[in-house]
Amino acid sequence: MKHSLTRNLAALALFLFPAAASAAPATVTGPTALALAAVVTQHSSLPAYDKQIMARLFAGNHAFLYVTKKKLSVTAETVVCRTSNVDIAARSCELTFPTSKKTLRGREANELYATAATASVSPEGAAGSNIESFSKLNCTVDPKEIRQKAGGGAECSFETGK
């Protein structure tokens, strides 16, 4: 009887709280989206010119002439960052893009980890480790709108959790 009650409670918990195991969509805009897009772009397979434009926008340099009218877009299939509470110098991130994979360590990994935290990606952890992960990252940046200095021009969507 006792085992039956435990099984029934476990089944009820799975029925009532299925979201704990599913992905949660999120969207960020404005300065947080620009920061996330800029940090991921520098490691993506975008053309060097697009990376330069994104870096200049993120640095607040709006004085350059942007000759094309296109919006910049960066995507990543998954981003997984890890830090440790035990080995405090250990930090890494693995970015999976549609055509490549990149591993970051040290300062670059810390930059991405911190930027993801500002975008409300919650860390998970076990046995002295902190893990931030998200998937289906899609950022769109409109340099023309950013140059207007009205608070818009950047948007990122992604999924958190598994």
Tens of pLDDT, residue by residue over 31-44, are: 999 999 999 999 99
Q: What is the pLDDT of residue 4?
A: 45
Q: What is the pTM of this model?
A: 0.81
The amino acid that residue 63 corresponds to is: A
129-141 and 124-126: which strand pairing?
A: antiparallel
Distance of CA 64 to the CA centre of its chain: 27
